[in-house]
Amino acid sequence: MQLRSLLAGSAMLALLAGCASGGPADQSPGEGITASQQEYQGTLPCRNCDGIDLDVTLQGDEMGAPEQRTFTLDATYRNHPQTPPDENYAGNWEVLTGTPSDPDATVYELTPNGEGQIYYFQRINDRTLELIDPERRRFENGEMLQLQRR
Closest by CA to 23, choosing from 130, 128, 108, is 130
Instruction: Read off the pLDDT of residues 25-42 as tens digits, 9 standing for 90 and up.
Output: 333 334 555 568 999 999
CA 128/CA 38 separation, integer angstroms = 11
**∠ at Cα 85 (82, 87), nearest 5°?**
130
CA 117/CA 111 separation, integer angstroms = 7
Q: What is the pLDDT of residue 36?
A: 85
Instruction: Give the Å distances, CA to CA, from 24 to 72, 81, 97.
Output: 29, 38, 15
Q: Tell me the domains of the chain and their CATH numbers.
A: 3-149 (2.40.128.640)
| Region of residue 32 (left: phi > 0; alpha: psi -120 to 50; beta: else) | left
Instruction: Read off the pLDDT of residues 106-141 as tens digits, 9 standing for 90 and up.
Output: 999 999 999 889 999 999 999 999 999 999 999 988
Bridge partners for 93 per DSSP? 110
Q: What is the pLDDT of residue 25?
A: 37
Q: What is the pLDDT of residue 34?
A: 56
**∠ at Cα 117 (51, 36), nearest 5°?**
80
- pLDDT surpasses 80 at 17: no
Closest by CA to 132, choosing from 107, 104, 98, 97, is 107
- pLDDT surpasses 80 at 105: yes
CA 42/CA 75 separation, integer angstroms = 10
Q: What is the pLDDT of residue 31?
A: 53
